[in-house]
């Protein structure tokens, strides 16, 4: 018996599967192209059909079924990427993965013909010389095929290689010690780069967050940085937008020992509420990574850390915060991470922390 609902009908068949149908804009009754194992799947199909009608892109399901029978992965992936609500830099990264790693293997393949064996063979051909890119490519392929399942184009996702979406970190991050950080800052050529280095390390800010900071984002009286925007460069274009994730929209307290340097710098170098803290040489444009690297590379060499990347300073900031006893939730808030897994990647046991714990344990005995 069909259950009464706001849009469409779901009928449980003698086979215990479910049939979904609805009356379309053409006043005709339309059945789903196949039955469903669960009521939830049938409801999801009706929801998708209703969205197509609302968007004005609806066509009878039977016509669409004929069209999608031979739809290639390349066509579907292109439409998938165009419709995806993602950040410009992520879109550029996905486009690169598709063009260089995924489409060469699947572009002309009809979606319905892609098998688990073909996916495994493709994954093997990628090799293991670039494990992170390989993992990203597999995750993207799987995500696209998952949506193809949801769209009713394929019955099941053929991409199910266990662990293929994860990659071991090739670059083992070694945070800078306080001594190394001191030499690094001192080797930077001027106040702009020195303060930028200090905020990257002690406040854990990303490069794109630092280079979009403006005078109005700094509460010098209370020692707080309001992180509200970030800048990225993709396909030769400079784009200012919201932080990487919702959690990136945050307030970061400046360690008190840095406040005098911050206040002095603001007075001497930043004009107006909208003035950039760390602009390019012209004073108004965003600082390019290449400009930073020209001074950072010689400085890290003087610090005895030619392996140190700029982003590793953010990692250093996480370790310094962890050494104070900050909880995982507190680290997530300070770094702007939305998941514990992201923050955990930055956690290390700070040198000397275990000795401090042992000392405090002894203090418990002394008190009693």
The per-residue pLDDT for range 191-206, each reduced to its tens digit, is 999 999 999 999 999 9
* Mean predicted confidence (pLDDT) in 174-185: 93
Residue 362 lies in a domain: no
Q: Is 337 a catalytic residue?
A: yes
Q: What is the overall mean pLDDT for the chain? A: 86
pLDDT digits (tens, 9 = 90+) for 267-320: 999 988 999 999 999 999 999 999 999 999 999 999 999 999 999 999 888 888
What's the count of helices (H) and strands (E) in the chain, helices before strands?
16, 9
Would you place residue 366 in the very low, low, confident or very high pLDDT band (cuts 50, 70, 90)? Answer: low
Q: Using the predicted structure, report yes or no on whether residue 357 has a pLDDT greater than 80.
A: no
Is the residue at 313 inside a domain? yes
Please tell me the total count of domains within the chain: 3
- Catalytic: which of 300, 314, 315, 334? 314
Q: Are residues 78 and 52 in the same domain?
A: no
Indicate whether 162 belongs to any domain. Answer: no
pLDDT of residue 88: 86
Catalytic residue (choose from 84, 125, 294, 311): 311
Per-residue pLDDT at 170 = 56
- 368, part of any domain: no
Catalytic-residue membership of 171: no
pLDDT of residue 347: 52
Mean pLDDT of 248-262: 91
- Per the annotation, the verdict on 359 as an active-site residue is no
CATH number at residue 192: 1.10.443.10
Say if residues 72 and 43 touch (Cβ distance below 8 Å): no
30, 136, 206, 300: the catalytic one is 206
Catalytic: 311? Answer: yes
Verify whether residue 314 is a known catalytic residue: yes
How high is the pLDDT of residue 158?
96
User: Which pLDDT score, from 0 to 100, does residue 351 have?
Assistant: 44
Whether 156 maps to a domain, the answer reads: no
- pLDDT, tens only, 112-127: 999 999 999 999 999 9
Q: Which long-range contacts (CB under 8 A, 24 or more apart) does 356-365 make?
A: none
Rounded distance between C-alpha atoms, residue 305 and residue 176, angstroms: 8
Task: Let me know whether 253 and 326 are in one domain.
Answer: yes
Is residue 358 in a domain? no
For residue 208, is it within any domain?
A: yes
Does 346 share its domain with 326?
A: yes
Q: Kindly state whether residues 324 and 188 are assigned to the same domain.
A: yes
Dihedral sign, CA of 26, 28, 32, 33? negative
Catalytic residue among 136, 286, 334, 337: 337
Residues spanned by the domain of 25:
2-68
- Closest C-alpha to 210, from 283, 267, 279, 272: 279
Query: Do 288 and 280 contact (CB within 8 A), yes or no?
Result: yes
Dist CA 307 CA 300 (whole Å): 8
Q: What are residue 305's phi and psi, to 5 degrees?
A: -130, 65
**Same domain membership, residue 280 and residue 344:** yes
């Amino acid at each position: 018996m069909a259950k009464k609902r706001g849009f469409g009908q779901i009928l449980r068949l003698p086979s215990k599967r479910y049939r979904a149908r609805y009356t379309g804009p053409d006043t005709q009754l339309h059945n789903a192209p196949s039955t469903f194992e669960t009521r939830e799947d049938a409801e999801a199909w009706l929801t998708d059909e209703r969205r197509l009608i609302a968007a004005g892109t609806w066509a009878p399901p039977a016509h669409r079924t004929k069209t999608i029978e031979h739809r290639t992965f390349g066509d579907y992936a292109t439409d998938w990427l165009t419709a995806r609500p993602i950040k410009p830099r992520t879109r550029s990264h996905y486009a690169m993965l598709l063009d260089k790693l995924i489409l060469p293997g699947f572009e002309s393949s009809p979606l319905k013909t892609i098998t688990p064996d073909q996916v495994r063979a493709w994954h093997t051909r990628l090799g293991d010389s670039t494990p992170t890119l390989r993992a990203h490519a597999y995750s993207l392929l799987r995500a696209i095929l998952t949506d193809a399942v949801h769209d009713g184009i394929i019955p099941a996702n053929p991409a199910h290689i266990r662990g293929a979406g994860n990659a071991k970190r090739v670059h083992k991050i070694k945070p800078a010690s306080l001594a190394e950080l001191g030499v690094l800052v001192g080797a930077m050529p001027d106040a702009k780069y020195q303060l930028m280095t200090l905020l990257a390390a002690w406040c854990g800010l990303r490069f794109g967050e630092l280079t979009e900071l403006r005078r109005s984002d700094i509460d010098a009286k209370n020692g707080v940085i309001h992180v509200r925007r970030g800048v990225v460069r993709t396909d030769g274009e400079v784009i200012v937008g919201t932080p990487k994730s919702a959690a990136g929209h945050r307030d970061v307290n400046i360690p008190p020992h840095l406040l005098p340097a911050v206040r002095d710098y603001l007075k001497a170098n930043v004009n107006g509420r909208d003035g950039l803290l760390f602009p390019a040489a012209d004073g108004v444009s965003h600082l390019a990574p290449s400009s930073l690297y020209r001074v950072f590379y010689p400085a890290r060499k003087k610090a005895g850390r030619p392996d140190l990347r700029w982003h590793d300073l953010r990692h250093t900031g996480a370790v310094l915060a962890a050494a104070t006893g900050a909880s995982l939730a507190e680290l997530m808030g300070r770094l702007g991470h939305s998941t514990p897994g992201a923050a955990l990647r930055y956690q290390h046991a700070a040198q000397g922390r275990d000795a401090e714990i042992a000392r405090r344990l002894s203090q418990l005995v002394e008190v009693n």
